[in-house]
Homo-oligomer: A and B are copies of this chain.
Amino acid sequence: MKKYDVIIIGGGPAGVQAAISARNSYPEKTIALIRKEKTALIPCGIPYVFHSLSSVDDDILSDTLLQKHDVDIIIGEVIHRETKSIILRNGEKLGFDKLVLATGSSPVVPPIPGRDKPGVYILSKEYDQLVRLRNAVQSAVRILIVGSGYVGVELADELLKAGKSVVVVEKLPTLLPNSVDPEFSNMVRQELERLGAEVKTGTGVKKFVGDDCATAAVLDDDHQVQFDIAIVSVGFRPNIEMARTLGVQLDRKYGVIVDEYLRTSDPDVFAVGDCASKRSCYTGQYRQIMLASTAMSQGRLAGANLFSINVLKSFPGTLDSFATKVGDLAVGVTGLTETRAEEMGAQYIIGRAETVNRHPGKLPGAKKVIMKLIFARYSHVLLGAQIVGGESVGEGINMLSVMIQKKMTDMEIDTLQIGTHPLLTPSPLAYAVITATVDAIMKWYHEPISTPS
């Protein structure tokens, strides 16, 4: 029996990150990564295979990083576990000291009648299915997208770029539901509509209809939407079957149960990424969220903690940090939205800023920037941020993430030295983070202090 010190199950980014981190932390250990698929894809690149990339192959996650870090790649499926070994479908048995589960997630298939008819596609993360869908998209003219999370809106943007006629249907009242506040969600909607999409919110799909192939969706409000093909993307669920095979504790909705060091109920098994459960860094409650920002941090931490727990390397809970781009509009969010702050009953103060990302604003390429910051009412700590703007929103939101993770207060942010440049950022006098922070400070600074009686 071949034996590895560390075996990672799953070849997506979380698994790869855990493997790299394990290698960096334990240079002497033997490490293997087992995956079912011959090639793994870059999950966040999937919406872009339909137009911006010239094939699904352009979205393949290269094995170079694994090879460079001396990680053996095994294509196979784990079907059974003994205490310190696993058995693959081909009968091979592999010993291990530590296992890392990184089995990812699969698309939710909503129970809509007619969903099995040809013409209705579930947006999958698997190579063969994506190739088939890509072919179908190329010959389609009118495409219905069901669901408007990141993947849904990114797909809409991409299909519009490809010149398709696009309809987006979202059951919840706003696009990007649960992710951004309504005013930001509306900006995304306006951008999609400006680009020619038809957007219907607050109504789901009741059924798909058509003779042999599905050719229309009947909505909850009884309107019909005709289409050549429909693409369903209404979320993902954690892949937990492997955890069952391994005998570790799991939650059907939230995934494999892990502690702050990414340990499962079994001391030799860790879990990271979409398959692992996440708690909010604000409430400690489980969050049904699947983000690269979370998965990468978990992967780095798990890899480092495999053989010796490092108290500095614990996962504080998910921050929910991400960015996306629709048309000319980049959107980023990190930490609490106002919607969630209200749900939590948090006491908060909002700071807002509106500016342009060039100075003077007459420079070519200037784009509007709108920022919303949420501070804790009494501790003044930054809790959350949302931005729309140009391409630098991606790094801008990461700066705000760092501020949140370092528990910075409004007063502290107001004293920062911030670099600016005419071609790269807003004006030094109108830098959005500072303006929005000062806006928040002004809301409490001159208030009369009420003495508790």
Separation in Å of the A144 CB from the closest CB of chain B?
Answer: 23
Copies in the complex: 2
- Would you call A397 and B419 a contact (CB within 8 A)? yes
- Would you call B402 and A403 a contact (CB within 8 A)? yes
**Known contacts A297-B417, A300-B415, A52 near B363 by CB under 8 Å:** yes
Instruction: Determine the chain B residues whose CB is within 8 A of the CB of A296 once the complex forms.
Output: 417-418, 420, 428-429, 431, 434
Whole-angstrom CA separation of A396 from B128 in the bound complex: 37
Separation in Å of the A388 CB from the closest CB of chain B?
Answer: 12
Instruction: Determine the chain B residues whose CB is within 8 A of the CB of A403 once the complex forms.
Output: 402
A118 at the interface (CB under 8 A from B): no
- Would you call A414 and B325 a contact (CB within 8 A)? no
- Would you call A417 and B321 a contact (CB within 8 A)? yes
Instruction: Determine the chain B residues whose CB is within 8 A of the CB of A53 once the complex forms.
Output: 360, 362-363
Question: Closest residue of chain B to A315, judged by CB?
Answer: B415
Question: Closest residue of chain B to A47, judged by CB?
Answer: B422
Instruction: Determine the chain B residues whose CB is within 8 A of the CB of A441 once the complex forms.
Output: 24
Contact of A446 among B27, B429, B434 (CB under 8 A): B27
For chain A, the bracket of interface size reads 35 or more
Whole-angstrom CA separation of A431 from B402 in the bound complex: 15
- Would you call A359 and B44 a contact (CB within 8 A)? yes
A145 at the interface (CB under 8 A from B): no
Q: Which of A187-195, A198-206, A224-232, A286-294 contacts B (4 or more CB under 8 A)?
A: A286-294
A416 at the interface (CB under 8 A from B): yes
Question: Closest residue of chain B to A426, judged by CB?
Answer: B394
- Would you call A422 and B293 a contact (CB within 8 A)? no
Contact of A402 among B54, B313, B414, B416 (CB under 8 A): B416
